[in-house]
Structure 1
């Protein structure tokens, strides 16, 4: 491993980790894009994608734990905020119901849906048993990190230019997230019918 090159690229790792940690609180942060940019910047360094994936998974899991802790301590305040936004309150209620019957699938799928992670963490703040959630959250963080780093790494090797690799990777990640969200919505509608 080229330690000097890795250290000179550490700023992009730190930026990616901060984006992933922060998007638990602010789902508008383009954390996937930041991770892909970090992959593209360091794809040729031996071991960098693995280190990046482990760091991203850790940042993702820590973001969940922090938001869960905030949601648990501020449950009345969070509930008052949710009550002002009926769409968020409805989504939180549906997530809580899904966690009762399909915890693993709900936690893992939420990681791949835009803002799903935030809604999930807020829903868990009102839950009586977060221990099971933590286990599935750690697995979901690992799966998402492996997915987004692999997507960036593959595209960095398929295309000759960084901008094309970034564009294709971001388009693919957006398309996959939109498809998962659409499937979740269809399944929810089928269940309601």
Structure 2
């Protein structure tokens, strides 16, 4: 069934409906991995490179927006389900996988989300775990937006540059994962540096407040009045 989707999308290359279909594929693929969004994206980019239709910019926008929206659905599924139910699987391997994902999500969320976007099953697991661990949605959305845009741009770039492998989504996925890993390292380092500086400022403020609270107060000054104490 799903193997017929890519040829169908290619047939729509000259129609504006191709953007709607591509958006829908990338959207559903965000929480339902069997949908072949990568192969459809690479194939339609190949057609655009050779025939000029559809417009490459439109392909990029449709794919990126669909990917970002689909990843958000996976996030909210995890947020609603909760980590206890995800990690409480009766299968030890699945439970251990979610436990590992939770630890890694708290340490390097940017790397996981960026790299996971290029792995059909991995993206669903990572984004669901992000929601289950209650990673702030604003942060998730920012990283997911970068991941969706990078994924779409890299796949299209490979299709445009490597004409001999235009219809090989596996090649696109492998190269994209390398790019994503680099982006993840950079983003994690930037976020880590910002967080360390923020924590350092917060610690300095807390220390200043603590020093003020514990500082000894000066003894009250006694001013002599010249009066003698009465018995």
Q: What TM-score, normalized to structure 1?
A: 0.72
2:132 and 2:23 mapped to 1: Cα distance? 27
Tell me: CA distance 1:112–1:150, structure 2 relative to 1, closer, same or farther (3 Å): same
Equivalences for 1:1-193 in 2 at 5 Å?
Answer: 8-43=14-49, 44-45=51-52, 48-75=55-82, 79=86, 83-131=89-137, 132-155=139-162, 158-159=163-164, 165-166=166-167, 169-176=168-175
> 8 Å contact 2:116–2:123 — kept in the other structure?
yes
Greater mean alpha carbon deviation, residues 47-56 or residues 117-126? 47-56
RCO comparison, higher one (Cα < 8 Å, 6+)? 1
Report the CA distance between 1:113 and its aligned residue: 2.4
1:133 and 1:55 mapped to 2: Cα distance? 20
Unaligned runs of 5+ in 1: 1-5, 181-193
2:43 and 2:109 mapped to 1: Cα distance? 32
Query: Residue deviations 1:128-168, cap 9 Å, x none?
Result: 3333222111111111111111112223xx35xxxx631xx
1:111 and 1:11 mapped to 2: Cα distance? 25
Report the CA distance between 1:16 and its aligned residue: 2.1
Unaligned runs of 5+ in 2: 1-11, 180-231
1:85 and 1:174 mapped to 2: Cα distance? 29
2:37 and 2:96 mapped to 1: Cα distance? 26
- Number of aligned pairs? 166
Tell me: CA distance 1:84–1:13, structure 2 relative to 1, closer, same or farther (3 Å): farther
Query: Residue deviations 1:12-59, cap 9 Å, x none?
Result: 333222221111221122110011122123234278112211211111
Instruction: Give the structure with the larger helix fraction.
Output: 1
1:88 and 1:9 mapped to 2: Cα distance? 43
